[in-house]
Structure 1
Amino acid sequence: MFIFHNAQPVEDLGQGVTRRILAHGGSLMAVEVTFETGAIGQLHHHPHEQLTYVLRGRFAFTIDGETREVGAGDTLYKAPDVVHGCVCLEAGVLLDTFTPQREAFLSAK
């Protein structure tokens, strides 16, 4: 019921990107992703619905072929199997929410 930020391990994904699983259960998962300036979230797709909330920083996000610049307070929706990715323009942190859970993230812990 209570998940404390500092108790959750950080996974180094390499090339300026880290991931911290904040919480998961039922069909939901919340994940914090930190990017250094210039880091890239490679274009990819998955069968999960995803909401991304920009906590801080600036990013150029591409979703389904459209690229837009976003910053703190902006939210992005990614439908299942839609290709998406980003380039970090100014160091920042994203809060990703997935449904269903990203089981591969859990098995990587």
Structure 2
Amino acid sequence: YNEVSPNHEVMPHRHPHEQLAYIAEGECNYYVDGVCYKLTTGSILYVPPNVEHYIEVTGKKPVINIDIFSPARPETANNTKEQC
């Protein structure tokens, strides 16, 4: 999971993986391909591969963001295997 504080700037980025972003806690604007989605606790958002996206915290508390990637990102796949 990722914890994004209100004053942290996440730069726009893209990757070749599909991504599901689950907001476990907090409030944010999640930008996907220039479109702003207002997300709150319990929201889920799909990010297609190779599409620019980033998150902006809008609340006073950090956002807890859980990402699921397909296919698994190499840098996280090894961590998952070690945890199991």
Q: How does the TM-score come out when normalised to structure 2? A: 0.81
Question: Residue type of the partner of 2:19?
Answer: Q
1:97 aligns with 2:68: yes
Task: Please report how far the alpha carbon of residue 40 of structure 1 lies from its aligned counterpart in structure 2 after TM superposition.
Answer: 2.2
Report the structure, 1 or 2, having the larger helix content.
Answer: 2
CA RMSD in angstroms, aligned pairs only: 1.5
- Aligned-pair identity (%): 28
C-alpha distance in 2 between matches for 1:68 and 1:53:
13
- The answer for the alignment partner of 1:69 in structure 2 is 38
The answer to which structure has the higher strand fraction is 1
Length-normalised TM-score, structure 1: 0.64
Residue 40 of structure 1 aligns to a residue whose secondary structure is coil
Point out which structure has higher relative CO (alpha carbons under 8 A, 6+ apart): 2
> How many equivalent residue pairs?
76
List structure 1 segments (4+ residues) > 3 angstroms apart after TM superposition: 104-107
Point out where structure 1 has 5 or more consecutive residues left out of the alignment.
1-31
